[in-house]
Amino acid sequence: MTERVLIKDLAAREDGLVRVSGWVEKVRDQRYVQFVVLRDESGAVQLVNGGVLREPDPENPRSDILVPRTTTISELTHGTFITVTGELQHNERVKLGGVEIQIETIDVVAAALPDNPVADDSNIDVRLDWRFLDLRRPEQNLVFRVQTTFLHALRQVWVDRGFIEIQTPKLMASASESRAELFEVEYFEGKAFLAQSPQFFKQMAQAAGFGGIFEVGPAFRADPSFTSRHATEFTSVDAEMSWIDSHEDVMELHEELMVAGLTAVKEKHGEEIKKFFNVELEVPARPFPRIPLAEAKEIVKAEGYEVPRADADMDPEGERRISAHVKKKYGHDFVFLTDYDASIRPFYHMRHADNPQLTNSYDLIYNGTEISTGAQREHRIDVLEAQAVEKGMDPKELGFYLDFFRYGVPTHGGFGMGLNRVLMLMLKQSSIRETTYLFRGPNRLLP
């Protein structure tokens, strides 16, 4: 049997017999010729039945008639999976890839119902209800090929630096950060919590002497938000490394990773991103701009917007405003907001040596939205315990975590970054629902 060929590889092949498999995207059933647009995971191709003259038969002067139409093609429904063998022909007049296939045989592998529930103008909720159909759209296929390329580039940086990949547990006996955002689950005779982040276990790897580590895995937040950038389950991209001098070392690693990821995506998918999303992907220059949080608030205030609470984080509107300022002044899509007040940071963030009100921490803003939080961690057990108490936490409940520091741990720091949010901003989509394989929110657990 002829080996199956991916549609993206057809243009490089010579004319001749080929076999392709995929799903029916469109059928045009005309009087003398039938066209089928077949799509697979790599692209689309035009199939043709009819419009080709047979060799004349001397005994039958009518034998040079067109190849007849077939009922099989007439009855193909959108989404039906088929395998086709036929004659590949290069034809520059064909807009779809410059090739077409003259059909010889069609095998219907699995027919689709005629009433497709997802239309071009279906809203996001309908598309999420039928996500497996929505994902057949080429732009959705592209999202996850971009994701694959982006993560591969990040991993290459980590591996080249000698980092170790770890997989941390997602069932925990106690909170890693805020109890208010924990999902509590039954666990045999007791209770467990779904991990909000791998934070404690990333730091454990520093105490274990692993040095640099990274993880790409799920995280859970019991946050009843319905915004375009929040989810109750998301993919977190995390890194942690030892022997840093300050959070500046973490920011430099973060820059290296983002530049590597965006460079790889632009090189491999830039033309398709422009075609499907009308986005001209930009690779950022290093170093990224850095602005202390207090200064950033003053900048947006001077430009007409005041963050509602002076003692709070930058709100979404403030993020958009400071990002627009940086784009205008520096031509940059990224900005690090640094030096966050200790009151709005976790207990394990290290404080400034000369100002205990400020932390050695940052948020990374990309195209107007925060994508990551990073920091130097506090590694001194006495200071760590005091900061936990200051935050109203009971050190006894943090026993396993604090034990890491009782047996020695180097200076260290790292970051956590939301992958789906990065993709949303990279491709300039309206919601992480578009860039999450299967979205989970307060009112969505299916499919």
pLDDT at 181: 85
Residue in the block written with tokens 């590597």: 260
Tens digit of pLDDT for each residue in 168-205?
999 998 766 656 689 999 999 999 999 999 999 999 99
Tens digit of pLDDT for each residue in 135-176?
999 999 999 999 999 999 999 999 999 999 999 999 998 766
pLDDT at 57: 56
pLDDT at 58: 59
pLDDT at 30: 87
How many helices, marked H, and strands, marked E, lie in the chain?
A: 11, 16
CATH code for the domain of 72: 2.40.50.140
pLDDT at 64: 47
**Number of structural domains in the chain:** 2
Alpha helices in 161-211 (DSSP H): 199-207
167 forms bridges with which residues in the sheet? Answer: none
Average pLDDT for residues 200-223, to the nearest whole number?
A: 96
pLDDT at 68: 61
pLDDT bucket at 50, cuts 50 / 70 / 90: confident
Is 419 assigned to a binding site?
Answer: yes
Please, what is the Cα angle at 235 between 415 and 292, to 5 degrees?
30
Is 306 assigned to a binding site?
Answer: no
Rounded-to-integer distance, Cα 193 and Cα 179, Å: 9
Is 183 inside any structural domain? yes
User: Phi and psi (nearest 5°) for 301?
Assistant: -65, -45
Is 136 inside any structural domain? yes
4 forms bridges with which residues in the sheet? Answer: 19
User: Do 99 and 165 belong to one domain?
Assistant: no
User: Do 151 and 18 belong to one domain?
Assistant: no
User: Do 191 and 251 belong to one domain?
Assistant: yes
Is 255 assigned to a binding site?
Answer: no
337 forms bridges with which residues in the sheet? Answer: 291, 363
pLDDT at 51: 58
Is 443 assigned to a binding site?
Answer: no
pLDDT at 179: 63
User: Do 268 and 398 belong to one domain?
Assistant: yes
pLDDT bucket at 330, cuts 50 / 70 / 90: very high
- Position with higher pLDDT, 177 vs 380: 380
Alpha helices in 62-208 (DSSP H): 71-74, 124-129, 131-134, 138-160, 199-207
Is 37 inside any structural domain? yes
Tens digit of pLDDT for each residue in 61-77?
544 445 566 778 999 99
How confident is the prediction for the chain on average, in pLDDT? 93
pLDDT at 32: 82
Domain that holds residue 427: 129-434
Q: What percent of the chain has pLDDT over 90?
A: 86
pLDDT at 397: 84
Out of 110, 139, 171, pick the residue that ends a domain: 110
Strands 43-50 and 99-110 come out as parallel
Average pLDDT for residues 212-229, to the nearest whole number?
A: 94
User: Do 93 and 160 belong to one domain?
Assistant: no
pLDDT at 175: 65
Q: Where are the beta strands (DSSP E) in 316-411?
A: 334-338, 361-366, 369-376
Is 418 assigned to a binding site?
Answer: yes
User: Do 327 and 233 belong to one domain?
Assistant: yes
pLDDT at 31: 78
Average pLDDT for residues 263-279, to the nearest whole number?
A: 98
User: Do 54 and 147 belong to one domain?
Assistant: no
pLDDT bucket at 53, cuts 50 / 70 / 90: very low
Is 261 assigned to a binding site?
Answer: no
Average pLDDT for residues 53-67, to the nearest whole number?
A: 51
pLDDT at position 228 over 70: yes
Tens digit of pLDDT for each residue in 9-25?
999 999 999 999 999 99
Is 420 assigned to a binding site?
Answer: yes
What one-letter code names the amino acid at 270?
G
Q: How many CB atoms lie within 10 A of CB 404?
A: 20
Is 377 assigned to a binding site?
Answer: yes
User: Do 321 and 208 belong to one domain?
Assistant: yes
Is 120 inside any structural domain? no
pLDDT at position 52 over 70: no
Q: What is the pTM for the complete model shown? A: 0.93
pLDDT at 125: 95
Average pLDDT for residues 79-100, to the nearest whole number?
A: 95
Rounded-to-integer distance, Cα 371 and Cα 425, Å: 9
User: Do 149 and 98 belong to one domain?
Assistant: no
